[in-house]
Amino acid sequence: MNYAPSGGYALTDETERPSRRRRWIIGGIVVALLLIAAFAMMRPGKPAPGTAAGGQQGEQLPSVTVAAPGNNVVDRTITGTGSLAARVDMPVGVAGEGGRVTAVLVQPGQWVGAGQILATVDSSVQTQTAASLAAQIAVARADAKIAQSNVDRAQSLVGKGFISKADLETKIATRDAAVARVKVAEATLAQQRATNGRLDIRAPAAGLVLTRSVEPGQIVSAGSGALFRMAKGGEMELRAELSEGDIQSLSVGARAQVTPVGSTQVFNGSVWQISPVIDPTTRRGIARIAIPYDKALRPGGFASASIYGGANTLPVLPNSAIQTDASGNFVYVVGKDDKVERRAIKTGEVSDRGVSIVSGLSGSERVVLAAGAFLNPGQKIKPILAKP
């Protein structure tokens, strides 16, 4: 109810209020639409539907780093394990009659010269035998001297007719027999002395004593087996077990590095012998690697070896570029129209520079270096050439 200008009351139409409220709502909507239109006009223009940035049709292409690996000189490395041993292992036993050991003069780990006595054997009986033979030589020489005197006397008398020529010839024969007995006695003494010299156990060559299995007082003979083991010259070797394929590609003289188990020390050596046979069970062969003596090298110990079997010129890729699935190793290369293609490869040696590719790449291809796991064959990309 409102007051009329004349001072009376006037009734207001109740239907007027909703119409006013509707006008306010419509006005607010119009203002909002104008503000949205103004804001849209100030923004930079959007590409038309179906048009990518840059004006190209289709989806946004992923940027992928690629590189042409080229070819690098790669050392071909063959790895193997095996046991350390003396290069020339010399078992030393009894060379003579044997007997009771009186003294052992060396210990394992000692260096000895050729012919050096390692152990002595009781030779008291043999010494007396040699003395007896020496006395027999003196007797034989005396008999020969008397026989020669008889021959000289007979020769002076035969011309006077006091002795017949037959008697002279008999005396000459007696003299010759006496001289022969002297030679036999001398030879027998020399044989005995040689036998006595073989009683003592001697080193057959200069080298390092590895083991000893004899003690003083022990009775030894030719059937006693090895009493000492020696490494000739102290030279050592690693008998590395290698696969049949590696053995076939290896050559004598190949350089190698040997690392004993439990040690970080590396020893340089070279392959001096390759097994002419392959074990039919394990399909493996032995490569013998010669290495100089060092106290850290103990025969019977275990060691690993890296053998350098020559150099190859191959592409080298980082490990991130190589993918693997049930079919084997592969990489993605960028082909025509910048589409990725799957390329099966065979990997070789792994080094600090990367993984060498034995087959599958020539080195001139553009190879995806990373993010290969997120790509699919035939997918188009935007290749970015990596800086060398």
Whether the CA torsion 309, 315, 316, 317 is positive or negative: it is negative
Per 3-state DSSP, the chain is made up of helix, strand and coil in percentages (nearest 5) of: 30, 35, 35
> In whole angstroms, how far apart are CA 13 and each of 9, 24, 175, 264, 361?
13, 19, 182, 106, 93
CATH code reported for the domain at 124-198: 1.10.287.470
Please write the tens of the pLDDT for every residue from 27-86: 777 767 776 766 555 554 444 444 444 444 456 888 888 888 888 776 678 889 999 999
Q: Which CATH architecture has domain 78-87+235-310?
A: Beta Barrel (2.40)
Q: Do 212 and 89 meet the contact criterion of CB atoms below 8 Å apart?
A: no
Positions in the chain short of pLDDT 50: 1-12, 44-57
Fold (topology level) of 90-120+202-232: OB fold (Dihydrolipoamide Acetyltransferase, E2P) (2.40.50)
Which pair of tokens denotes residue 245? 């394929």
Rg (CA), the chain: 52
Tell me, yes or no, if the two domains 78-87+235-310 and 90-120+202-232 fold the same way. no
Q: What's the rounded Cα separation, in Å, for the pair 35 and 320?
A: 52
Residue boundaries of the structural domains of the chain: 63-74+314-385, 78-87+235-310, 90-120+202-232, 124-198
| Packing angle, helices 124-158 and 165-197, rounded to 10 | 160
| Strands 228-232, 89-92: pairing kind | antiparallel
Q: Do 238 and 266 meet the contact criterion of CB atoms below 8 Å apart?
A: no
Q: What is the pLDDT of residue 220?
A: 92
| DSSP calls for 96-157 | SS-EEEEEE---TT-EE-TT-EEEEE--HHHHHHHHHHHHHHHHHHHHHHHHHHHHHHHHHH
**Can you give the pTM of this predicted structure?**
0.55
Q: Do 76 and 310 meet the contact criterion of CB atoms below 8 Å apart?
A: yes
Q: What is the pLDDT of residue 19?
A: 65
Q: What is the pLDDT of residue 42?
A: 52
Whether the CA torsion 119, 124, 126, 127 is positive or negative: it is positive
User: What amino acid occupies position 198?
Assistant: R
CATH code reported for the domain at 63-74+314-385: 2.40.420.20
Q: What's the rounded Cα separation, in Å, for the pair 199 and 96?
A: 5
